[in-house]
Amino acid sequence: MTRIHDVIIVGAGPAGTATAARLHQHGVRDVVVLERYAFPRDKPCGGGLTGHCDEALAALDLVLDVPRVPSATARVRLGGFERTVTMGRPVNVIRRIDFDASLVAQIRARGVEVRVDSPVAGLAVEADAVTVRLDDGRALRGRVVIGADGAASVVRKHLHGDARPLPHRLFMQELPAALADSAMVYDFTPMQDGLRGYLWVFPVADGRANVGLMHYPSSRKGGPELLRLLRAHLGAHGVELPARGARGWPVWGYDPRAPVAAPRLLTVGDAAGIDGLTGEGIAVAMEQAQVAGDLAARGLATGELGFAGYRRALRRATVGRELALDRWLARLLYQRGPGWQRWMSLVLFDPDVLEMYAARVAGSEVLADQKLRLWSALVRHAGLAWSRRRRLREALAAVPALPPGPAADQSVAPSTASS
Ligand SMILES: Cc1cc2nc3c(=O)[nH]c(=O)nc-3n(C[C@H](O)[C@H](O)[C@H](O)COP(=O)(O)OP(=O)(O)OC[C@H]3O[C@@H](n4cnc5c(N)ncnc54)[C@H](O)[C@@H]3O)c2cc1C
């Protein structure tokens, strides 16, 4: 008879290691983490430890002990317009190959078992446990299984069935670059060429830059078209994308109504959904891990393993409130037609909105608690929208639109995991 573990966590990225750390804090010791790859392993990512990552690490007794570039300013750009905002405290830009290996080492040092080279192929929920099947045919059983297995999560697939909404698409590359300073650059100029999202240039240790772009799925864009936009618009930042292009990754945005749990099953991190506005997910994963770890530990103690309240608990936590607000903002800002200009002009030209968002990115404020300030900005905008849109068009006129590309608006295969 196969032994039944208290908890099996699938995936040892930030979500999986943070959940293991939380369970350990609760005294849950019979935990096995199953990871597809061996560490150090890389993961396409901008590496910006934004939001409430500092607090999340501290709450989990984890430390940031890898090389990082602290960035205290963000430069936001659209065509000829540029504004620099100071963040309440620096955002740390790390490399995932270092960061994830460090988190794994930290939980292993606590005695948590992490089994690498152990890809999970599928799972079956039974009355007394969940059976987790590995690629090589072996099986493990757990009273609870937590899916922290990223965007291509097998646990997410189990919960969502055949439902496959269009994913966000993110591309990144790390390159040598002589950046002027350590500011994080967010450039929305490619929106005039059909991108619904932004291009980033983040400083990385050793005189390098992490560059990339995020596309929100209000319109379908194929990999070649997104790479064309990335390549063309990086020129304005003095960065040349090499011939090999950039690594792409589809991820699903957080939807407060989507399934995140079932009896004996929970999901965290990208498996539950990323921030729809920014594509950010590391701090999100570590905050959600605390909610999931608390609920799992309580469930193991009480025998209540239905987890019917998890979706609501996530939604009500600070992280869930921020994700819900960002989901709403993303739908306005990244809408398919020209209406995006109305909302982008509010973000760029209102004296308060960018400051609020910078404080949210830095983790010094919870944007969802700033409803009064947000409403005041909306009221101001009602009177100024026309002149602000004219200003926005003038900013865009400074950078002529690119000619349409041959591969523009291709359909996207949602399961494509690389460029
Ligand atoms: C290009 C790009 C740029 C980004 N930039 C940022 C940024 O600057 N800041 C930020 O906060 N977020 C960023 N994100 C998002 C961030 O990378 C993710 O939100 C974060 O990695 C989520 O952590 P996770 O642990 O949920 O998933 P992952 O980091 O994907 O970890 C999942 C783990 O599960 C393992 N796994 C998967 N399937 C299986 C299986 N079947 N069996 C066993 N193991 C499995 C994987 O190998 C992996 O180790 C970016 C994402 C992309 C694609």
pLDDT in tens, 337-360: 999 999 999 999 998 999 998 888
Clarify whether residues 382 and 317 are in a common domain.
Answer: no
Ligand 1: centre distance to CA 203 (Å): 20
CB distance 132 to ligand 1 below 6 Å: no
In this structure, are 130 and 154 located in the same domain? yes
Q: Residue 414: inside a domain, yes or no?
A: no
* β-strand partners of 220: none
Do 24 and 132 belong to one domain?
A: yes
Specify whether 279 is located in the same domain as 340: no
380 and 267 within one domain: no
Q: Rounded to the nearest whole angstrom, what is the distance from the C-alpha of residue 310 to the centroid of ligand 1?
A: 21
Which protein residue has the closest C-alpha to ligand 1 atom 31?
A: 13
Atom 15 of ligand 1, residue of closest alpha carbon: 281
In short, whether 34's Cβ falls inside 6 Å of ligand 1 is yes
**Is 88 a domain residue?**
no
Buried b (16+ CB within 10 A) or exposed e, 239-273: bebeeebbbbbbbbbbeeebbbbbebbbbbbbbbb
Q: What is the extent of the structural domain holding 44?
A: 4-69+93-165+253-323
Residue nearest to atom 13 of ligand 1 (CA): 280
Question: Is 99 close to ligand 1, i.e. is its CB under 6 Å away?
Answer: no
Whether 197 is in the pocket of ligand 1, judged by its Cβ within 6 Å, is no
Which atom of ligand 1 is closest in space to residue 14's alpha carbon? 25
Residue segments in the chain with a per-residue pLDDT below the cut of 50: 409-419
CA 151–ligand 1 middle distance (angstroms): 7
Both 280 and 369 in one domain: the answer is: no
Dihedral-angle region of residue 207 (phi above 0 means left; psi in -120 to 50 means alpha; beta otherwise): left
Instruction: Please tell me the predicted confidence (pLDDT) of residue 414.
Output: 35
Any atom of ligand 1 within 6 Å of the Cβ of 273: no
361 shares a domain with 287: no
Per-residue pLDDT, 406: 63
- Among 288, 303, 323, the domain-final residue is 323
Q: Check pocket membership of 253 for ligand 1, CB cut-off 6 A.
A: no
CATH of the domain at 25: 3.50.50.60
Ligand 1 proximity of 203 Cβ (cutoff 6 Å): no
Q: Are residues 50 and 107 in the same domain?
A: yes
For residues 124 and 61, membership in a common domain is answered with yes
155 and 290 in a single domain? The answer is yes
Confirm whether 191 is domain-assigned. Answer: no
Domain boundary among 265, 290, 323: 323
Residue 137 placed within a domain: yes
Going from the Cα of 375 to the center of ligand 1, the distance in angstroms, rounded, reads 34
Judgement on whether residues 135 and 11 belong to the same structural domain of the protein: yes
**What integer pLDDT is reported at residue 324 of this predicted model?**
95
- Whether residues 156 and 291 share a domain: the answer is yes
CA of 160 to the centre of ligand 1 (A): 19
Mutate to test the pocket of ligand 1, among 93, 280, 416 (most ligand atoms within 8 A of CB): 280
Atom of ligand 1 nearest to the CA of 41: 49
Residue whose CA lies nearest to ligand 1 atom number 51? 45
Is any atom of ligand 1 closer than 6 Å to the C-beta of 279?
Answer: yes
Give phi and psi for 306, each to the nearest 5: -80, -30
Q: Is the CB of 142 under 6 A from ligand 1?
A: no
Instruction: Tell whether 259 is covered by a domain.
Output: yes
Whether 241 lines ligand 1, by a CB cut-off of 6 Å, is no
Residue 132 lies in a domain: yes
Three-class HEC string of the chain = CCCEEEEEEECCCHHHHHHHHHHHHCCCCCEEEECCCCCCCCCCCCCEECCCHHHHHHHCCCCCCCCEEEEEEEEEEECCEEEEEEEEEEEEEECHHHHHHHHHHHHHHCCCEEECCCCEEEEEECCCCEEEEECCCCEEEEEEEEECCCCCCHHHHHHHCCCCCCCEEEEEEEEECCCCCCCEEEECHHHHHCCCEEEEEEEECCCEEEEEEEECCCCCCCHHHHHHHHHHHHHHHCCCCCCCCCEEEEECECCCCCCCEECCEEECHHHCCECCCCCCCHHHHHHHHHHHHHHHHHHHHHCCCCCCCHHHHHHHCHHHHHHHHHHHHHHHHCCCCCCHHHHHHHHHHCCCHHHHHHHHHHCCCCHHHCHHHHHHHHHHHHHHHHHHHHHHHHHHHCCCCCCCCCCCCCCCCCCCCCC
Model's pTM, two decimal places?
0.95
Closest atom of ligand 1 to 272 CA is: 26
Per-residue pLDDT, 405? 75
Can you give the pLDDT at residue 400? Answer: 84
Q: How far is CA 95 from each of CA 53, 69, 140, 359, 390, rounded to the nearest angstrom?
A: 15, 10, 32, 23, 40
pLDDT for the residue 401: 86
Pocket test residue of 32, 34, 42, 45 for ligand 1, highest count of atoms within 8 A of CB: 45
CB of 12 closer than 6 A to ligand 1?
A: yes
Confirm whether 244 is domain-assigned: no
The number of distinct structural domains making up the chain is: 2
For atom 27 of ligand 1, the residue with the nearest CA is 150
Q: Where among 323, 348, 363 does a domain terminate?
A: 323
The answer to whether residue 210 sits within a structural domain is: no
